[in-house]
Structure 1
Amino acid sequence: MLGKYKLSIVLLLLLIILTVSTFLQSNDLPAVVSALSEMSLLWLTLGILSVLLFVILEGVMIWHLLRSFQKGIGLYQCICWSFIGFFVSGITPSATGGQPMQIYYMKRAGIKVSASMPVLMILAVLYKLVMVSIGAGLSLFWATGLAAYFGDFLWLFYLGLGLNSFVVVLLIFIMLRPLYAEKLILKIERLLTAMRILKESPERQTRWLSAIAEYQQVIGFFRKHKTTLLSVALMTFIQRCLPFLLIWIIYRGMGLSSVGILSLMALQAAVTLAIDLLPLPGSMGVAEFVFTTVFAAVFSDKLLPAALCISRGLSFYLLMIVSAAIFAGVHFSKGKTAKKEYRDFLI
């Protein structure tokens, strides 16, 4: 089961080594350590709590939605599935592996795929909608600020906004126009097969169409549970703001106060959107580059490397360590296997 992701884990480790070595070569390490030591312990603790709460809140939303489909779901289980999703998303390009792995472990716990898949799709749609809405708001009302901070790399922000907008439109199109979606997917599959990018596989067509059929259950959920959906949408917005709040926590923890909380959160949101769908595990390397480019005008030359270390250290590396530990605990715990069901829904 885990063997499928060995290559991704190796690639992630190589990217970590390359990123760390590049960072050490381009920065004064004693100065960075000195800046890190000046970070307030109280603010650092708040930063740790904010990133942990980010993942925990997704588990709360999974639990909240699953109860509408299936009774007897434990909140602790759902939080574990959230950490599993974070870990696998972090080791796969464009975070593509998280949801299939969550479906697998939900199946082990007795959750039907017909319940888990619509729930995860709802969260995916809401997540993308929130990100696109924030990005659209920034581009409409703060375009000058974005241009000033991003400089020549503003195109990365608009690329991220465009890619996320495309994903939102595609997901909504699949939900609202299943027949058109089926025809489009079959045409794409035939084209890729003709180009010999894909091998002929009737089983693959069946899997794709089956996934679309399962996805239609989201429509029924929208119609029958509007109040639940609105509450989850609000929780999604709050959840998405937590990583954006982290940069303000770091900023204040370093004793700085000249830049306002909204400006810092807006910048972090723009950075997140710029790297969100890049095809690298955890956006390694690119995330660090965009961060240092955008926040160069916020932190001094001395504090910028330390701010980067704390930001990436908490929002990615710390969460990966915690998620890996929880993943290992869940994986080796007793439970029913569901390898066939997992393969059937890997697309």
Structure 2
Amino acid sequence: MNKTISANRILKNSIFFITLIAITFLILFKDNSIESILKSLKNVNVIYVFLGILCMFLFICCEGINIRRMLRLFSYDISIFRGLKYSFVGFFFSSITPSASGGQPMQVYYMNKDGINISHSSLVLLIELASFQFTTITIAIISFIVNYDFIVSLNTAIKILIFIGIAINCIIFCFILVAIFSKSFINRIVDLAFKVISKIKFIDEKRIIEGVREEIKQYQEGALFINNNKEVVTKVVLTTFVQASFMYSITFFVYKAFNLSTFSFFTVFSLQSILFISVSAIPLPGSVGSSESVFLTLFKTLFPVNTLNSAMLLSRGISFYLFVIVSGIIVLFIRISRNKYYGNYIFKGLYNKDIIREK
């Protein structure tokens, strides 16, 4: 990956991301007083805010643990800090790219720079993705059933968004499973797709076919990986359930931060799981705009009117915006450290050559 191109893409995505945030907050808060929101935030219980931040950090840690756990199966001596590095990299690039499309490719890139084979890192991230899809879908469906009466009382647009979100995530999960376990079925689908692609002009058909075939090969290696490491994969899935639980618990701690206690942990937790699955299919960086809007709709019966906007701001601030900044700083530090390392390496090489010439 070219460093200049990578930097330009990061800059463009960041500008688009920041612009989207600005538009979102201008729309959401055009009829609300910033002073009243800030005043409301000043009265929150900071202990619960800290617990929310801790939950988000543990969410990041769980992915790092899973990455480390699976890479060690391929005999890579990965520390928990390196696992965390890859997790923060994934979070940052997933946040600033549409449909989280940049997260896994950049994780593979940074792992490759650390000497990890691309086929191994791709397979590990595939299993991690499948585990996350399975977990979020399962929790969301259970939450949907438990909160069915509440969901059907919502406006039509939100109900459609929830149904679409669950449906798309289920399709993605099924496609991953089929790609891994059914070689003949996925090849038939790909052959059909290639027939369509071959009729489209200005497309490098050969390059696309080679790329897709390689991806399918990696997916199908996942089946052998799962069969040979069922215990580890089970641990990965269980860790992912814990990971999702940390993320969904943040809103409950925000709820408690405003000294509210009418609704139970499970009610807040389940609504947050539905919110997440609803907006995850929307192709916007970090689901900016959609997450905020759906939050205001789903949680308007839980939070008093005078604290709803503040609660949304605090919840998204903890679960998203704060950690985009933190992960962005970490990514910047990694790039600077790497450039410094290679700069010193090159300098030493030139220095040694000069000494040899002098001799």
Give the structure-2-normalised TM-score.
0.89
**Counterpart mapping for 1:101-116 below 5 A:** 101-116=106-121
1:67 paired with 2:65, answer no
Give the secondary-structure state (helix, strand or coil) at the position aligned to 1:163. Answer: helix
Range with greater deviation from structure 2 (182-191 or 305-314): 182-191
**Higher gyration radius (CA):** 2
The CA deviation string for residues 61-83 of structure 1, in whole angstroms up to 9 with x for no partner, is 10011101123112111101101
1:234-290: CA deviation from partner (whole Å, max 9, x where unpaired): 110010011210111011111000000000000000000100121111111111110
1:325 counterpart residue number: 329
Corresponding residue to 2:20 among 15, 23, 26: 15
Shift of 1:19: 1.4
Partner Cα distance (2:292, 2:251) in 1:
14
1:201 alignment partner in structure 2 = 205
Is the contact made by 1:57 and 1:235 (CA closer than 8 Å) also made in structure 2?
yes
Consecutive unaligned residues of structure 1, counting only runs of 5 or more, are 338-347
Q: Taking structure 1 as reference, are residues 254 and 150 closer, same or farther at Cα in structure 2, changes over 3 Å only?
A: farther
Q: Distance in 2 between matches of 1:193 and 1:4?
A: 29
1:121-200 to 2 correspondence within 5 Å? 121-148=126-153, 152-196=157-201, 199-200=203-204
> 1:278 is matched with which residue: 282, 290, 302?
282
Q: Which residue of 2 aligns with 1:340?
A: none
8 Å CA contact 1:149, 1:295 repeated in 2: no
What aligned pairs does 1:67-106 form with structure 2 within 5 A after superposition? 67-106=72-111
SS state at 2:304 partner: coil
Give the whole-Å Cα distance in 1 for the aligned partners of 2:190 and 2:9: 25
Contact 2:143 2:271 in 1 (8 A): no
Asked whether the 8 Å contact 1:160–1:277 carries over to 2, the reply is yes
Q: Taking CA–CA contacts closer than 8 Å with sequence separation of 6 or more, which of the two structures ends up with the larger relative contact order?
A: 1
- Aligned residue among 298, 311, 321 for 2:315: 311
* Offset of residue 114 of structure 1: 2.0
1:150 Cα deviation after fit: 6.0
Letter in 1 for 2:325: I
TM-aligned CA distance change 1:218 to 1:13, over 3 Å: same
Query: Is 1:290 aligned to 2:285, yes or no?
Result: no
- Is contact 1:50–1:242 with CA below 8 Å preserved after alignment? yes
C-alpha distance in structure 1 between counterparts of 2:10 and 2:34, whole Å: 33
Change (3 A) 1:186 1:331: farther
Q: Does 1:258 align with 2:255?
A: no
Any stretches of 5+ residues in structure 2 without a counterpart?
1-5, 343-359
* Change in 2 beyond 3 A, CA 1:217/1:39: same
State how many pairs are aligned. 336
Q: CA, structure 1 residues 313+189, in 2 after alignment: closer, same or farther (shift >3 Å)?
A: farther
Letter matched to residue 14 of structure 1: T
Q: Which among 44, 50, 55 is matched to residue 49 of structure 2?
A: 44
After TM superposition, the score normalised by the length of structure 1 is: 0.92
